[in-house]
Structure 1
Amino acid sequence: MIDEKILKMYKASNKFGTYLEMDLEVLKEGEAKYIIEIKEKHLATPIAAHGGVVAAVIDGTLGVAALTVAGQNDNVVSTVELHVNYLKPVRLGDVLTSVGKVVSAGKRLLYVEAAVTNQDNVLVAKASGTFNAYPAEKAFKMLEENN
């Protein structure tokens, strides 16, 4: 069962995802999806998105997929390692869909993979990441201290 409290906290605190205008959907335990339309603010050149935008979408997708599993034990996650393969250019106006799936979940480490496609269902990036699970109370305490 996905911990709605932890997901709610994540959504409320993810200012970067809000800035990038990423739309989150939890598909099921261990699977998450982000959708983003590439706008002018995402560009590195007059027509192509910055790779960091694609990496941010991927990191978010992988992290939320991991969070749906780790949250069951009152844990949140942080990125330990992120590997991205950029396969095709991402252009102004493209609508990207990034889907992440937990492949392996241990007590402390989770391994997650993602694929990113554009509106034409063309694969533009593949990725994997490792995430550290740690007690949510640490994250909640830090959130309270900063407010």
Structure 2
Amino acid sequence: MIDERVLNMYKASNNFGAFLEMELEVLEEGEAKYVLEIKEKHLATPIAAHGGVVAGLIDGTLGVAALTISGQNGNVVSTVELQVNFLKPVVLGDKLTSIGKVISAGKRLLYVEAAVTNQKGVLVAKASGTFNAYPAEKAFKSLNIDV
């Protein structure tokens, strides 16, 4: 079962996701979705989004999918490895949907995959990542939050 307490602490402290204006939805245990509309602040050229925005969207998606598993044991996750394949351009006004799914979960390492589509259902990126699970106390200690 997903630990809502750990998930809520993540949501409250995720300034980067708020900056990008990503909208989170946990689909089920081990699966998460983020949605992001590409705005002018996301552009690297007059019409195309910066790859780092898409990579950030993906990293968040993969991480939350992993968090839904690791959080069950009072753990949070950090990215160990991230691989992104950019398949199509992402342009101003695109509404991206990134869905991540945990493929394998051990005690400390989780492997997650994601796909990103635009509003037309076109696959624009694929990714995978490895995440390290560690005690939530380490992440939230500086915020004076009891875990």
Please give the TM-score of this superposition, normalised by the length of structure 1.
0.97
- Show CA shifts across 1:75-113 (max 9, x none): 000000000000000000000000000000000000000
Question: Aligned AA for 2:78?
Answer: S
Q: Give the count of matched residue pairs.
A: 145
Q: Which structure 1 residue ranges, 4+ long, deviate > 3 Å from structure 2?
A: none
Q: Does 1:44 align with 2:44?
A: yes
Counterpart residue number, 2:69? 69
Please give the TM-score of this superposition, normalised by the length of structure 2.
0.97
For 2:58 and 2:49, locate their aligned partners in 1 and report how far apart those are by CA, in whole Å: 14
For 1:16 and 1:34, locate their aligned partners in 2 and report how far apart those are by CA, in whole Å: 13
Map 1:1-147 onto structure 2 (within 5 A).
1-144=1-144
For 1:49 and 1:26, locate their aligned partners in 2 and report how far apart those are by CA, in whole Å: 25
Note the residue ranges of structure 2 that are not aligned, 5 or more in a row.
none
Shift of 1:137: 1.3
For 1:67 and 1:142, locate their aligned partners in 2 and report how far apart those are by CA, in whole Å: 19
Give percent identity, aligned residues only: 82
Alpha-carbon RMSD? 0.9
Note the residue ranges of structure 1 that are not aligned, 5 or more in a row.
none
